[in-house]
Amino acid sequence: MKRLTTALILFTSLVCKADGLCNRGMVQKFDDVIPSANLTWTPCFDEFTCSKLEVPLDYSNRSLGTTSVAFMKLAGKNATIQSPSIVLVPGGPGGSGIQLLEEYRSLMGQMFGEQYNFVSFDPRGVNNSGLNLDCFRGNAEARLAFNRLHSTGATNVSSESLQEQYYSASIYSEWCNEAVEKDLPHGYYVTTPAVAQDLLTFVEAEATLAGQSASDAKLWAYGISYGTVIGATFASLFPDRVGRMVLDGVFDAEQYYDNNWRDVADQMDETIEKFSSLCHSAGPDRCSFWGPSPANITARMDQIILELQNHPVAVSKAQSQGLPTKATYSDLKALLFNNFYSPRSGFPVIAKVLHQLENGNASALADIPNGLGITSDAGFVTRCVDSYRRNKLTTIEEFKSYVEYMVSTSKYTGDIYPIIVETILCRSFRPQLPDSMVIRNPISGVQKPTSFPILLASNTVDPGTPLKSAQKLSSQFPGSVLLLQEGVGVSQI
Ligand SMILES: *[C@@H]1O[C@H](CO)[C@@H](O)[C@H](O)[C@H]1NC(C)=O
Ligand SMILES: *[C@@H]1O[C@H](CO)[C@@H](O)[C@H](O)[C@H]1NC(C)=O
Ligand SMILES: *[C@@H]1O[C@H](CO)[C@@H](O)[C@H](O)[C@H]1NC(C)=O
Ligand SMILES: *[C@@H]1O[C@H](CO)[C@@H](O)[C@H](O)[C@H]1NC(C)=O
Ligand SMILES: *[C@@H]1O[C@H](CO)[C@@H](O)[C@H](O)[C@H]1NC(C)=O
Ligand SMILES: *[C@@H]1O[C@H](CO)[C@@H](O)[C@H](O)[C@H]1NC(C)=O
Ligand SMILES: *[C@@H]1O[C@H](CO)[C@@H](O)[C@H](O)[C@H]1NC(C)=O
């Protein structure tokens, strides 16, 4: 019977995609969801319901008008309309919760229990929600030119690179300013405090829809990475509206708002140690960069990094495009960074590339995109407007000292970190924002405890959202509890 139902559903959606004859009311894109000031759920993407909630641009001045926030809901197998919705708060900034919920739909019930509804959203500024700014206004050539000028690799790869990266950063804000002026007048109204307010608007609208009191409505949330900043901001602004809150893979909210990402690489080098010891214990059949001891693996890796620092390797035809290219020190550093986050899939990639480099084959490294360069602006705009009145990274001296600090924190990624996290891009943003859009008080639950204690979670070795940050947040929210998982990597839900 179950199999039959699945087959039927499959069939319907195939028909739907083949000739556009969809179920009445079943939408397949957010453009077809009509924004509404109350919640109106429309069946969407076959197994979800979607809603676009109209929210005030500025909660302190409603005459400015509204924008819309895209929400999507998956009903737990045993859930009813009265069951609490657990809101999955995405990372980023710039991450799409809609995409996250689609990707993890089969995990939600297993993680939380089938008696809940699961909701996620694109924060204002992101993808399916309003205020989605494209700083280069569709001009791909300008974006590419900027990236070539600015995203040049490790901060000290040449004697000029730090200066080049610092000075070119101001170009970015100029393009963003122009895009706001010409295309999207309130494009900078995407701050995290506003996102926290949007979440409150959502839980109130949900309560109203269920016939309950809006003013008693509470948020049930599970936040990851930057989503923990949204969560902590919500808890700080609306402590008596915390129903349940789990913050997993904690990002230091204070450093986030100060644009001073100092602790992020705290456990990077520890992650490298784990790579070497896990590679060693996996054995030569399962780790292609195996060596007779963890120290041997680390020493050989250091040697390869040093050789690439001295000279890049020319590759006459990259496999992917068949074009001449080179494999550089920065590419390898970026590869380490990009593959530390999820060790289960990332460590084998690192091992394979190192093994080939050791054998004189640089084409694998040259073929993997290093991920440098700005491809989407939502996250940067949010970060830069969130920090503009308290930005600790504006002068070249501050940038130099930040780079030095990162290098002292992580031998392996400290010099690539600044150009990967790109906090320097915020240095000349000067958005005109009302006070209500920015955070003024410290993020904290000390003055007013949350109505339910927060549960924090962290891996013991986390290369991107280090344990230290969870411990710090825990001290700022009395009553919170920190759950440790013995493991390596960044929380991946
Ligand atoms: C929701 O708002 C729409 C108009 O925006 C209105 O027509 C509808 O009656 C409202 N529904 C509820 C349940 O309040
Ligand atoms: C609210 O916004 C309107 C429209 O931009 C503006 O004219 C008015 O001065 C604002 N009011 C306050 C109190 O900021
Ligand atoms: C944005 O939304 C569209 C349509 O829903 C989807 O195809 C796309 O993958 C999304 N992009 C991101 C980055 O989430
Ligand atoms: C749904 O609830 C029933 C009754 O409480 C329980 O027996 C069943 O295991 C639940 N199903 C799932 C998938 O959780
Ligand atoms: C670049 O970083 C390396 C490794 O930390 C260091 O040895 C070197 O002195 C730095 N070079 C410059 C120009 O700062
Ligand atoms: C690592 O071990 C191999 C095999 O015993 C040895 O040949 C090599 O010299 C060692 N490398 C380093 C850097 O210790
Ligand atoms: C070099 O690495 C690439 C990519 O993994 C592989 O396809 C190729 O066969 C290797 N070349 C040699 C000479 O081993």
Q: Whose CA is nearest to atom 1 of ligand 6?
A: 296
pLDDT of residue 95: 97
The closest alpha carbon to 91, from 464, 486, 424, 489, belongs to: 464
Does the pLDDT value for residue 22 go beyond 70? Answer: no
pLDDT tens digits, 89-134: 999 999 999 999 999 999 999 999 999 999 999 999 999 999 999 9
pLDDT tens digits, 187-229: 999 999 999 999 999 999 999 999 999 999 999 999 999 999 9
- Could you tell me the CATH superfamily of domain 43-132+189-258+441-488? Alpha/Beta hydrolase fold, catalytic domain (3.40.50.1820)
Q: Whose CA is nearest to atom 9 of ligand 2?
A: 61
180's tokens? 């706001």
What's the pLDDT band for 5 if we cut at 50, 70, 90?
very low
What's the pLDDT band for 280 if we cut at 50, 70, 90?
very high
Residue with tokens 């080939």: 356
Test site for ligand 2: of 60, 62, 64, 186, most ligand atoms within 8 A of the Cβ? 64
Q: Give ∠ CA 53-87-263 in degrees, rounded to 5.
A: 115
Instruction: Indicate the range of 266-270, 311-315, 403-407 predicted with least confidence.
Output: 311-315
Test site for ligand 7: of 361, 365, 368, most ligand atoms within 8 A of the Cβ? 361
pLDDT of residue 401: 97
Among the bound ligands, the one closest to the CA of 45: 3
User: Ligand 5 mean position to 215 CA, how many Å?
Assistant: 56
Does the pLDDT value for residue 281 go beyond 80? Answer: yes
70's tokens? 């895209």
Task: Report the mean per-residue pLDDT for the chain.
Answer: 92
362's tokens? 């640089």
**Gap between the Cα atoms of 315 and 161, Å rounded:** 23
Interval 377-405 mean pLDDT: 96
Q: Whose CA is nearest to atom 11 of ligand 2?
A: 61
Sign of CA pseudo-dihedral 377, 382, 386, 389 = positive
Does the pLDDT value for residue 10 go beyond 50? Answer: no
Domain ranges of the chain: 43-132+189-258+441-488, 134-178+265-389+392-428
What's the pLDDT band for 84 if we cut at 50, 70, 90?
very high
Q: Whose CA is nearest to atom 3 of ligand 5?
A: 156
User: Ligand 7 mean position to 346 CA, how many Å?
Assistant: 19
- Contact indicator for 339, 368 with CB cutoff of 8 Å: no
Strand pairing category for 242-250 and 313-315:
unpaired
Interval 38-50 mean pLDDT: 95
pLDDT of residue 220: 98
pLDDT of residue 13: 40
**Gap between the Cα atoms of 31 and 4, Å rounded:** 32
What's the pLDDT band for 23 if we cut at 50, 70, 90?
low
AA identity, residue 419:
I
What's the pLDDT band for 440 if we cut at 50, 70, 90?
confident
Test site for ligand 7: of 316, 356, 358, most ligand atoms within 8 A of the Cβ? 356
Among the bound ligands, the one closest to the CA of 110: 4
User: Ligand 2 mean position to 433 CA, how many Å?
Assistant: 12
What's the pLDDT band for 321 if we cut at 50, 70, 90?
confident
Give counts: helices (H), strands (E), the chain.
17, 11
- Contact indicator for 245, 450 with CB cutoff of 8 Å: yes
What's the pLDDT band for 12 if we cut at 50, 70, 90?
very low
pLDDT of residue 82: 82
pLDDT tens digits, 356-369: 999 999 999 999 99
DSSP string computed for 50-111:
EEEEEEESSTT-GGG-EEEEEEEEEE-TT--TTSPEEEEE--TTT--HHHHHHHTHHHHHHH
Cβ–ligand 4 contact at 114 (below 6 Å): yes
pLDDT of residue 299: 98
